[in-house]
Amino acid sequence: MFRKIDHVEIVTDQLERSVEFYTKVLGFRLKFRDQVPQPGGGGSLDIVYLDLGGTAIELLSYAKQVEPAPQKVHLGYRMMALEVDDMMATLGFLKRNGVDPVWGPVFREKYARAEILDPNGYHIELRQWNR
């Protein structure tokens, strides 16, 4: 019945900056773009689908202003996580591309973990599993 998580939606007011970050820094591939007119002459909704290893992110940018996400831990969705092969190599690559960790890295017996921010201030966990 259920097959997989198809995509995660991220609402942004910095669409092109977000597309550049997810494609050029994190290695996502552009799947497709769309522009959907909003009812009642409310402008349009810009949609960009980005793929990484069969998992997609859908970036949404509304013509009208939207409320920002809460900045404190709250009930509900918190962040997405990207699995990495080598935490230190990944953090070095990100640093060379202007992205510093906002938390970690922390090394545990079974995993290493760190967090970065996307251009919208949303947290992204980096996870290296020790196999």
- Cβ-contact 66, 120 below 8 angstroms: no
Q: Which sequence spans correspond to the domains of the chain?
A: 1-64, 78-131
Q: b/e string for 13-30 if b means 16 or more Cβ within 10 A?
A: eebeebbebbeebbebee
Indicate whether 1 pLDDT > 90. no
List pLDDT tens digits, range 120-129: 998 999 999 9
The reply to whether CATH 3.10.180.10 applies to domain 1-64 is: yes
pLDDT tens for residues 21-77?
999 999 999 999 999 887 777 678 899 999 999 999 999 998 877 676 667 766 567
Write down the pTM of the prediction. Answer: 0.82
Q: Residue 6: its pLDDT value, please?
A: 81
Instruction: Decide which of 3.40.50.1950, 3.90.1150.10, 3.10.180.10, 1.10.10.10 is the CATH code for 78-131.
Output: 3.10.180.10
Q: Which of 9, 12, 3, 17 is nearest to 56 (CA)?
A: 9
From CA 86, how far away is CA 54, in angstroms rounded?
Answer: 20
Do 1-64 and 78-131 show the same overall fold? yes
